[in-house]
Amino acid sequence: MPPRALAGKVALVTGASRGIGLAAARALAQAGARVALLARDAAALQEAAAPLGEAGLALGADVSDPGAVRAAFGALAAAWGRLDVLVSNAAVAAPRRVEEAGDADLQREVGINLLGAIYCTREAVPALRASGGGSIVYVSSDAGVEPFPFLSVYAATKGGLEVFAQAMREELRADGIRVTLVRPGATLSGFARDWDPEAAGPAFRAWHERGLVRPGAVLPPETVAQSILHAVTRPPGAEVRVLDLRPGPGA
């Protein structure tokens, strides 16, 4: 890949204040793109965007709010006037039995993980089409195809995202918009840092007992980011449809 393969391009990354989203934003910027970083935590977002200088644009928004998503894409259009890459990465989860989930818990997970991706896609497609095509990357999870107990709602949202990505791939083909699904396994992303240890204990025990996770076997978020960059920098006429990443030997 040429060192500035995305020079002149504009990307938007959701969930960009930390983890995979932040690593992806940095990788895209290093490849020459101007990158809009979208997340809910305004302070963390500003800190994440600052090192990118003029190549970074912080857009505070909750992707589960369609009005906030619409406003963020409007701000991007006003600032840079185009879009070439959407990386839909924002996601949340909390380990619990489904009968323990409150209404707000369920609405939050479905709203951010699935509806958020749909809202962002809805806003991105006209902009990508106006730019002559581009790429959409959906960040899924191994839980989307191998559902984990205690993460049933999260797994269901990722399963829905996988089906949505397949449909978008066919729906947008004539527009020259490529669609990639990235399906990482355990990643050192800070995803679980806010989990209540007492509530998460039974979940982690069940996952270890069933061989769903291996202690210490994790991917760095930069590895996932480089896979995203690989997908969006393929030559015209080539499409990376699914990237299934798992911790391998030496992880």
Phi, psi of 35 (to 5 degrees): -125, 125
Length of the chain equals 251
Q: Can you tell me whether residue 56 is helix, strand or coil?
A: strand
The H or E element that residue 232 is part of is helix 221-232
Q: Measured on CA atoms in the order 216, 222, 225, 227, is the torsion positive or negative?
A: negative
Is 154 annotated in the active site? yes
Q: Which residue has the tokens 């380990």?
A: 95
C-alpha angle 154-109-104 in degrees, rounded to nearest 5: 130
Q: Determine which one of 154, 164, 191, 207 is catalytic.
A: 154
Catalytic residue positions, numbered: 154
